[in-house]
Amino acid sequence: MTDGYETADALGGEPDGFERLWTPHRMVYISGEEKPKTSAPGEDCPFCRAPQASDEESLVVARGEQAFVVLNLFPYNPGHVLVCPYRHVADYTDLTPEETVEVATLTQRAMTVIRAVSAPHGFNLGMNQGAVAGAGIAAHLHQHVVPRWGGDANFLPVVARTKALPELLADTRKKLADAWATAG
C-alpha cells in the first residue's frame, strides 16, 4: 500500500506480477477520445499507426512478418495485448493464409510470454467482428489476448477509484518485450 491507492496484490485473488491497476485507461476509452473518426486505413487508425513508431512509443511488444503484438491501451487486465495484422482489414475471412498463421503463432507466443511474466490462471482469446459485437476499432482486425485471474472481474469497480499511472503501460511493455525473446 503506497500513496493511498491500493495495489492489485492487496485485493482479492493473487498477485499478478505487474502490481498495478489499469482502469483509468478504460475511462479514456469510454469517453471516446481515442476512437477513430472513420474506418479508413492510415493516420486515423491506431493499428495502422502503431507499427510506424518505435516499440516504446507505440507500446509494441513484438513484430512479426505479417502481424504484430501491441499492448491494449485500454486493458481489461494487466498484460492484455492485441495481435494485429499490419494490413488494414476488418474481417477474419480477409486474412491471407500467411497472416492467419502468424496471428495464431503470435497469439500462442503471447500466452507463453504472459504466463512466464505474470502467471495468470487463464486467458480469454478472441476477435470481436463488427461494432455490434463489441469491436472498439472494427475496421482493423485485432485478436485479444486477455490474461485472467480468479476474482479479477470483481476488483474492477474497486480499482476505478485509483489514480492514473500512465507510465505503467511502458513498464508492462518492457517486461513482455524482454520476456518475448527468452520465455519458453
The interface region with Zn ion, picked from 17-25, 66-74, 111-119, 135-143 by CB under 5 A, is: 135-143
Q: Is 8 in the site for Zn ion (CB under 5 A)?
A: no
Residue selected from 140, 142, 144, 173 as contacting Zn ion according to rule CB under 5 A: 140
* Integer Cα distance of 181 and 138 in angstroms: 30
Residue selected from 11, 21, 48, 69 as contacting Zn ion according to rule CB under 5 A: 48
Residue selected from 88, 115, 148, 174 as contacting Zn ion according to rule CB under 5 A: 88
Q: Which of residues 111 and 135 has its CB atom nearest to Zn ion in the complex? A: 135
Q: Is 138 in the site for Zn ion (CB under 5 A)?
A: no
Cβ of residue 31: shortest distance to Zn ion, in angstroms? 22
Of 92-131, binders to Zn ion (CB under 5 A) are none
> What does the chain look like in DSSP terms, one character per residue?
-BTTB--GGGSSS---SS----HHHHHHHHTTTT--SSS-SSTT-HHHHGGGS-HHHHTEEEE-SSEEEEE-SS-SSTT-EEEEESS---SGGGS-HHHHHHHHHHHHHHHHHHHHHH--SEEEEE---SGGGT-SSTTS--EEEEEE-TTHHHHHHHHTTSPP-THHHHHHHHHHHHHHHH--
Write the CA distances from 35 to 55, 114, 137, 138, 139, integer angstroms.
21, 27, 7, 10, 11
Active site residue 142: yes
The interface region with Zn ion, picked from 3-11, 33-41, 58-66, 155-163 by CB under 5 A, is: 33-41
Cβ of residue 111: shortest distance to Zn ion, in angstroms? 24
CB 179 within 8 A of CB 109: no
Q: Is 47 in the site for Zn ion (CB under 5 A)?
A: yes
Q: Is 68 in the site for Zn ion (CB under 5 A)?
A: no
The interface region with Zn ion, picked from 31-39, 41-49, 62-70, 154-162 by CB under 5 A, is: 41-49
Q: Is 49 in the site for Zn ion (CB under 5 A)?
A: no
Q: Give catalytic residue positions.
A: 142
**Contacting residues toward Zn ion, per CB under 5 A:** 41, 45, 47-48, 88, 140
